[in-house]
Amino acid sequence: MSTALGQRIKRTSMPTVDAQARLQGLRELAPLLWPGGAAASGRRAMLVVPGMHRPRILVPASPSKASAAAVLRHGSALSATERAQRRALYWALRSGLGPWLFRGGRDLGTSAQSPFVKRLGDVLDRRVVASVGLTPPRANRKPVLHLLDHEGRTVAFVKVGINPLTCALVRREAAALARMAKADLRTVSVPEVLYAENWDGVEVLVLSPVPSWLGRMPRPDVLEAAMQEVAAAGGPDVGAAPAPNFAQLLRDRADNIATPTDPQDQKTLAVLRELADRLAHEPVAQALRTGTWHGDWTSWNCRQLGDTIALWDWERSDSGVPTGFDALHYRMQDRLGNREAKLVDIATACLDEAPMTLARWNLGDGDTASAAATMTAALYLLAIALRYVADDQRSAGGRGGDVGAWIIPALRTILDERTIGGSGT
């Protein structure tokens, strides 16, 4: 790499464990997407960018227009420095220097001659190549392919379920997008399902491209309006009060989680069942309004385009949940992105700040609204804890996977040392 280019591309290495985990995920994926690997083509056909020291994305070595565009459009919520680095990578690849500057594809056994990608091209009736983002470990990690034509135009994005959990999530996303397509959404736009099928045990969902690289971070007022629109898109029960006791639904969900083999996880699940029982007996929990939520709305899977919020990653969407879950989740996930923040402080802040976070969600007046907001946050944290346990996030190494270390203490505090709605427990 030239000195000038090296100065423009910051080569700060990831922590060794993180980098190795991303590459291991790719090695596990390679036999599916590139059977036969480099031996099938005899050349380095895929490139790890910006390199093995800091693996972020796997791109085709050629055509250069496609590899450069894949890097430029990878990810969102970038800082000014990251955008500058991305631009430098773009021009390095666009110039055709990629095979000389970026290494690793041959070592990982990947080839551009992928039967899987060719089959996707046949479905779309286009010649396509694919890039794949390399992500940190988590239980629900799955391949997301960015399909581009040879001129670098984005054709589609493809979710691929490769095990029972991720296959179920891909099917859920397809169902959620079908529901949203029928809703009269005005401030939210969602991807269109172009194709969905199970290929030999692999769940495939092909989606129309959402041009996230053209948008910007949503304005708070537009974001909140979009969240409330999604909440109201769930059917005739939206806004009904009293609603089904969501805490009891969570208790039932906890009963349906298979007993973990690890003693620590067994204890965690038992405590979550106990907390669900206690929350279900709180009067305020029995009168919360319900609606639909996206299920994983974050600052990195939405963008404002004009007056509309483009929103993707619908695999966790559900209905019949207390209104306001998306607002709580968005705020908490931003804090989870700060690796220096203590997890238990993040959970406590979710509870403490709930009345402010949900101030415009029509939960009532005065103390009633405050109690409803706090209970909504408590149920949200319980729902997330059960999700993490069901997905076995602790064993997968996902951040926050050990919910017994942060969510359970925060919930115990709200129940043991405080009152919700004026009734102690």
Triad 305, 310, 313: Cα angle to 5°:
155
* pLDDT, tens only, 271-289: 999 999 999 988 898 889 9
| C-alpha of 277 from chain center | 29
- What pLDDT sits at residue 149? 95
Whether the per-residue pLDDT at 61 is higher than 50: the answer is yes
* pLDDT, tens only, 243-274: 568 999 999 999 999 888 889 999 999 999 99
Whether the per-residue pLDDT at 14 is higher than 70: the answer is no
* pLDDT, tens only, 190-246: 999 999 999 888 899 999 998 877 888 999 999 999 999 999 996 544 444 445 689
Confidence of residue 106 (pLDDT cuts 50, 70, 90): very low
Which 8-state DSSP code applies to residue 15? Answer: P
Whether the per-residue pLDDT at 409 is higher than 90: the answer is yes
User: What residue has token string 């699940």?
Assistant: 269
CA distances from 165 to 138, 180, 251, 252, 297 (A): 11, 23, 21, 20, 20
Higher pLDDT among residues 267 and 417, named by residue: 267
- What pLDDT sits at residue 104? 54
- What pLDDT sits at residue 38? 41
**How many residues are listed for the chain in this entry?**
425
Average pLDDT, the chain: 84
State how far the Cα of 314 lies from the Cα of 60, in Å rounded to an integer: 28
Within a 13 Å sphere around the CA of 320, how many CA atoms are in the beta-carbon half? 7
- What pLDDT sits at residue 34? 65
- What pLDDT sits at residue 418? 62
74: helix, coil or strand? coil
Higher pLDDT among residues 149 and 399, named by residue: 149
Q: What is the mean pLDDT of residues 320-328?
A: 96
Confidence of residue 299 (pLDDT cuts 50, 70, 90): very high
Q: What is the pTM of this model?
A: 0.85
State how far the Cα of 333 lies from the Cα of 88, in Å rounded to an integer: 29
- What pLDDT sits at residue 82? 75
Highest mean pLDDT among 327-331, 333-337, 359-363: 327-331
CA distances from 342 to 143, 387, 400 (A): 30, 20, 10
Burial (CB count within 10 angstroms: exposed 0-12, middle 13-18, buried 19+), residue 8: middle
Higher pLDDT among residues 385 and 41, named by residue: 385
By mean pLDDT, which of 106-120, 165-179, 341-355 is the weakest? 106-120
Whether the per-residue pLDDT at 122 is higher than 80: the answer is yes
Confidence of residue 127 (pLDDT cuts 50, 70, 90): very high
- What pLDDT sits at residue 102? 75
- What pLDDT sits at residue 52? 74
- How far separated are the first and last CA of the chain, in Å rounded? 64
Cβ-based neighbours of 218, under 8 Å, separated by 6 or more: 226, 302, 303, 304, 309
- What pLDDT sits at residue 78? 61
State the DSSP string of 327-372. Answer: HHHHHHHHHHT-TTS-HHHHHHHHHHTHHHHTTTS---SHHHHHHH
Confidence of residue 44 (pLDDT cuts 50, 70, 90): low
State how far the Cα of 290 lies from the Cα of 344, in Å rounded to an integer: 27
Whether the per-residue pLDDT at 365 is higher than 60: the answer is yes
Confidence of residue 12 (pLDDT cuts 50, 70, 90): very low
- What pLDDT sits at residue 399? 84
What are the φ/ψ torsions at residue 202 (nearest 5 degrees)?
-105, 125
- What pLDDT sits at residue 42? 38
Confidence of residue 107 (pLDDT cuts 50, 70, 90): very low
CA dihedral 315, 319, 324, 328 (to 10 degrees): -30
Helices (H), 34-97: 64-72, 80-94
Whether the per-residue pLDDT at 108 is higher than 70: the answer is no
Higher pLDDT among residues 48 and 173, named by residue: 173
User: What residue has token string 């969600």?
Assistant: 361
